[in-house]
Amino acid sequence: MRIFGTFLLLLLLFIPYPQELQAKEEMESIIIEVEGDPEVHKEYLETYHPFIEVIAVYSRLFNGIALQGVPSNLQKIEALPFVQSIHSVQQYKALPNKQAETEGQVIPSDLNTTSFTGKGIKVGVIDTGIDHNHPDLQKNYRGGYDLVDLDEDPMETIPEQGVPTSHGTHVAGIIAADGELEGVAPDAEIYAYRALGPGGAGTSIQVIAAMEKAIEDGVDVINLSLGNDVNVPDFPTSVAVNRAAELGVPVVIANGNSGPEDWTVGAPATADKALSIGASTPSKKTPSLYEPMAGRTFQITEMAGSAPWNLTKDYPIADGTAESASMNGHIAVMKRGEIPFYEMAKRAEEKGAVAVVIYNKEKGNFQGSVQNEENPINIPVVSIAMEDGLWLKEQLAQKRIYLETAYRNDERTIASFSSRGPVTINWNIKPDIVAPGTNILSTVPGGYQQLDGTSMAAPHVTGAIALIKEAHPGWTTEQIFGALKTTAHVIGKEKILSPTIQGMGIVQPEKAIESKTIIHNPQLNFGRINGYRETSKFALTIENMSEDAQTFTFDYPKQENGVYWKLPMSFTIGANQKKTIPIELSITTARMEEGVHQGWIKLTSQDEQYNLPYIFVNQTANQPKTAGFEFAVKTLSEEAYEYRIYLTEAARRVEVDLYDPESLVFRRKLIKMENVIEGEHEGEISKKDAGDTGYYLAVITVFLEEGTYESSPTIVYIE
């Protein structure tokens, strides 16, 4: 018996208990959307599902619960009657960092020409987390939360955790760095919320949960430099953004990096009550070379890693390939070949050349690099076209020639990558305003980096809002947004860029703070006109912030066939008063082209001019009929896929066909829907019905009511 008892004891010691069985499965975190009171459901889960940990409860912007456990236990949650949906981590991405493509640096603090610093203002940065140990961020970092790992440390993803990130640290530095580099609002308090994990991936639900946590922490403004490709106004995250604004917390969102085509803005920048930000380029002087005797101009392209071209007088040229020739005080000219650009330029620099010009060995221009951190090039190095280089070499063989530098002033404009509007379905103008978004120097883990993107533009405006909140603590979100829009400077001199490219124009924080006038809704959206002749009305709200009455006058837009405006010629608003101004637009649809029409109306007061953008659609527009298609394995399921299709107008039929991505041979039909209404549609497909494993070109075809159809492709993967 003693032997049997000992054997039984040893056997019991090695029988795996549930906790030990769980350890063999990797823990997962999910967030569930629930019906009813999430606090009640939390108690139920803790009582009847003890091996699932309730991490957090959300009830302000979203009704849900964050859970952590092994998949085998989490799968049981799906069958509970109060669970509406379960969300994983594959839906949202930080807008991808873009390496700065041109020379020069834009310092975030340059935007702040005021005496304000954002002191006492709490800024929520919902992103990939931040490196809160960075010396320029330590001082202002106050805390936050990690919605990916569900803990109190919102640190950026490090290599040991997956694809490392730096996006959130760069964004936070633009807003409130305070060290060797200064942000727009260097005294603002930073609260970081890691909603996007390894590689910058996350879900809309994590973003919503992060927003809830930020509001719970009492932040004064939220920055979202993230997005997706769904151009519809009612995407769930957009709804949460609108709700946050209603609660008095302004949300600033990057418009996206999918430009320069129209209709490329994505959620949540599509939200009505968000401030959506596009990216502008700085004004700059562009150099070119000029040979005065022949009157010939040479377009040059500066190479990465070289000193900027800032020559101010003429210089003789020399053959850069000559072994014995001195190049002291000369511009060295040489042909592109097998020798690396760096070696060519370094040799010329060591011989005394003031600059290097390398011409192409084939037709056209080219870009190159002479980067070398250990031993950098200290003179400008540029490339020119082959035909220009051959001409210079021919002239040099006959006589001594000189090259002068001519500079062209390039005005500020919109970055080519900046996403454009309008928003599908409701035709809203997006972006609302633009901010510096190219060559932005800011903090990253371990140092500093220069990046491009609307992700860099949005935090400039978030910093500007911190300045305004410090200057005017009693202003509402509507007043802050209105002031920023009212005082934005339109881009374009001879021809103003379209509203759906620049919104109201470039942000000007100092003018917003000092503004005597706030136009609360300056983007005039008259919607879609369908009848033969219709009149659309818009109520413009203007607030006089000064101690004196102000008189305003409209300039009528240029006469256009089929369009008739009814505007008050002149009106007065008393000191510290608000007034609603009626504007009417009558359209005779047959007398003008179908599609999107947009432009500007000028409003002037005694000493200011305001440019108000307008938009309307005559009958139909060329917007994409599908504003997004998502296809992925259903969360916590091994047997099915789930899909979502967003339609911008009703359709007779919608089909999704699969093709071989290389041969384009038709494989099979994946989805077919009849008589589909406008909006979001979702469903499930079993793995058996989805078919064979592999990558496919999915072609989504929308058959419209009037008999036409439109197709759009995307890549899907079937496991």
Instruction: For residue range 513-550, list pLDDT tens digits in order.
Output: 999 999 999 999 998 888 888 999 999 999 999 999 99
> Domains of the chain (ranges plus CATH)?
21-87 (3.30.70.80), 99-281+415-510 (3.40.50.200), 284-410 (3.50.30.30), 516-618 (2.60.40.10), 626-718 (2.60.40.4070)
Tens digits of residue pLDDT in 547-606: 999 999 999 888 888 999 999 989 999 999 999 999 999 999 899 998 899 999 999 998
In sequence order, the 6+-apart residues with CB closer than 8 A to the CB of 47 are none
Q: pLDDT value at position 10?
A: 31
Please identify which residue in the block is written with the tokens 């500093």.
Answer: 448
Q: How far apart are alpha carbons 489 and 609 in whole angstroms? A: 10
330: nearest Cα among 397, 389, 403, 382: 403
Residue 265 has pLDDT above 80, yes or no: yes
Tokens representing residue 267 in the block = 């959620």
pLDDT for res 16: 39
Q: Cα torsion for 160, 165, 166, 172, to the nearest 10°?
A: -110
User: Using 50, 70 and 90 to split pLDDT, how confident is the model at 90?
Assistant: very low
Residues across the chain: 719
pLDDT, tens digit (0-9, with 9 covering 90-100), for 287-323:
899 899 888 999 998 888 888 888 888 999 998 887 7
85-89, 216-220, 700-704: segment of lowest average pLDDT: 85-89
Query: Starting at the edge strand that comes first in sequence, how are the strands of the sheet with 447-452 ordered?
Result: 98-99, 447-452, 440-444
For residues 87 and 31, give the distance between their C-alpha atoms in angstroms, rounded to a whole number. Answer: 6
**Contact by Cβ (8 Å): 103, 178:** no
Return mean pLDDT, the chain: 87
pTM of this structure: 0.78
Q: What band does 8 get if pLDDT is binned at 50, 70 and 90? A: very low
The answer to whether the CB of 405 falls within 8 A of the CB of 311 is yes
pLDDT one-digit tens code per residue, 666-698: 888 899 989 988 877 888 898 888 888 888 888
Cβ distance 180 to 135 under 8 Å? yes
pLDDT at residue 470 tops 60: yes
510 CB contacts (<8 Å, ≥6 apart)? 113, 114
Q: Name the residue with tokens 């008063």.
A: 577
Q: What are phi and psi of 556, to 5 degrees?
A: -65, 140
| Contact between residue 247 and residue 215 where contact means Cβ atoms under 8 Å apart | yes
Higher-pLDDT residue of 554 and 29 is 554
- Of the listed ranges 261-265, 278-282, 482-486, 662-666, the least confidently predicted one is 662-666
Name which residue leads in pLDDT, 104 or 77: 77
The pLDDT of residue 6? 37
Q: What is the pLDDT of residues 109-127, one digit of tens each?
A: 999 999 999 999 999 999 9
